[in-house]
Amino acid sequence: MQKLNNNHKDQTALVGKYFLDHFPIGIFSGEHSPANKQEELASKYLIQVMEVFTVFDRLCRYAKYFADFLPSNDSGISVPEAIEYHLRNYVQEFYILRERIRAIVDGLKVDLVHYHIQNT
């Protein structure tokens, strides 16, 4: 899982670099408004992609949650209850990840025409 998480961090950096290399940083910080449709869409999709990476980061940490965050014997919470709690949250995070990805895909279906991509 550590290798996957490290590779994911590299991908996050590459995506961020792409947006910062191709668009003015001010549109992402709110310093100025997008000058055209491509900048508007870049601002929109950077936020959405970073949300996907944030959820994925949380999912990558669940191995640690399962291993390290179990209740003490005197807490009144059994180990199976704690594992069930973590498992429910893990599944919920997958649902959130799916919905974030779905939002990007649905948006791209509408917005792709603004990127002037030729399908040859």
Give 5-18 pLDDT, tens digit per residue.
567 778 888 988 99
pLDDT of residue 2: 52
Q: Is the pLDDT of residue 116 over 60?
A: yes
Q: Is the pLDDT of residue 115 over 80?
A: no
pLDDT tens digits for range 21-73: 999 999 988 899 999 988 999 999 999 999 999 999 999 988 888 888 888 88
> Tokens representing 82?
């704690």
Q: What is the pTM of this model?
A: 0.77
Mention every residue, 6+ apart, whose C-beta is less than 8 A from residue 60. Answer: 1, 4, 5, 8
pLDDT of residue 88: 95
